Structures are given as C-alpha cells and as structure tokens.
Amino acid sequence: MAAEPRRIGLYGGSFDPVHQAHRVLADTALAQLALHELRWIPVGQPWQKTRRLAPAEHRAEMVRLAIGDNPAFVLETCEVERPGPSYTLDTVKALQQRQSGPAHWFLVIGQDQLAGFCTWHGWPELLQRVTLAVAGRAGVPVQAPAELLATGHRIKALDMPAMAVSSTELRQRLAAGEPAVSLAPRMVAPAVARYIDRHGLYRTAP
C-alpha cells in the first residue's frame, strides 16, 4: 500500500526578530492545513529588501528558541547557508529533491507577500510545486493579484486572529532602549527576548 504523502509547510521570512505573530501564524497553519511538519526558513540574502538584517546566525538561533517547544516545527537553514540571493524557488526545489517519500507542499505566506507574488523569481514554476497558504488580515478576505488568479491556481486561505505585533515595531522599541524582556511574552517569546538582550541586538536605530 502506498505511503500517505506527508503534508509539509514551508514558512520563510527574515524573522528579524521572530515574534509572537509569526508563531501564531505557524500554529494556525499547522492546525488548519493538518501539516505533519512546518519548516521555518530564515532568509539568507533577501533580494527584495534593502534594509540590512541582523546576522543570519542570530536570526536562525532566535527562530530555534521560538519553536523548540513543538516537535512539528523544524528550523531549516538552507538559505542562510547558500551563497547568493535567496530565491524561494531554489529553496523549494532543493527541499523537494531531498524529500525521500511522497509529499504535499504548502508555502505559507502573508497577504502582503501574495500581492507581490508575481514579481518573485520563477513564480510560475513555484506554483507548480506548492499550494499557497495565505494568512489574510483579520476579517479581510484574501485578495490575489489578477495575474495570479488567471493561472487558476488554488489558494488556501488561513483564518488568522488579529495580531498587533510587527518586527518593525520591535526593532524601533529596542533601538529606543527598551529591554526585550519587557516586551515578553506579549510581543516576543521570553527565550528570544533573553537572547536579544544577551547579545545586544537591535540597539542602534533601524
């Protein structure tokens, strides 16, 4: 009898720093997509961002601390280890080549990423390899760009609660001198907050 395909979610981002809204989205995707595992993928060199990120080793370690309590969450470091720009298509192809058995792949993204999806490197091929799972803003239906709708690709909408947390706000508050531990656990996991304070991350103006 053929093995049941594993349901694998891929969740990429700068995670600069990883915060509680990232975790809520991951928990939501895990439950609503009935995933066997969700792989968190910190970006290496984001080709569409001009802002300088915290060093990759710190961002990856913060993700590890944020997800360590759930064995279904996996830290995937292929992008921070791979030289050159981090293209999602390259990552998906590499992970699918490594997969030993049948799998159904979901790419977990947000509404903002969906709006610009058709500017991504190799996006038509990427659509052939994954199902898009999109977290919309609370109470607002997911809106796909017309070019993507024309492909007929199915999008799985994730029902997300409202979360007023962002990496930008965290960096601003940390740069203003607030201890990270004072922002835990509402905005950031306590273990991540301790790591930020211990290493003095985000203490200069973004």
**Rounded (5°) CA angle 71-72-73:** 90
CA-to-CA separations, 202 to 26, 52, 108, in angstroms, rounded: 24, 11, 27
What the chain holds in terms of domains, given with CATH numbers, is 6-164 (3.40.50.620)
Closest by Cα among 27, 19, 28 to 66: 19
pLDDT, one tens digit per residue, over 100-152 is 999 999 999 999 899 999 999 999 999 999 999 999 876 678 889 999 989 98
Per-residue pLDDT tens over the stretch 39-84? 999 998 776 566 789 999 999 999 999 999 999 999 999 999 988 8
- Please tell me the distance from the alpha carbon of residue 29 to that of residue 23, in angstroms, as a whole number: 10
Phi and psi at 114, nearest 5°, equal -60, -40
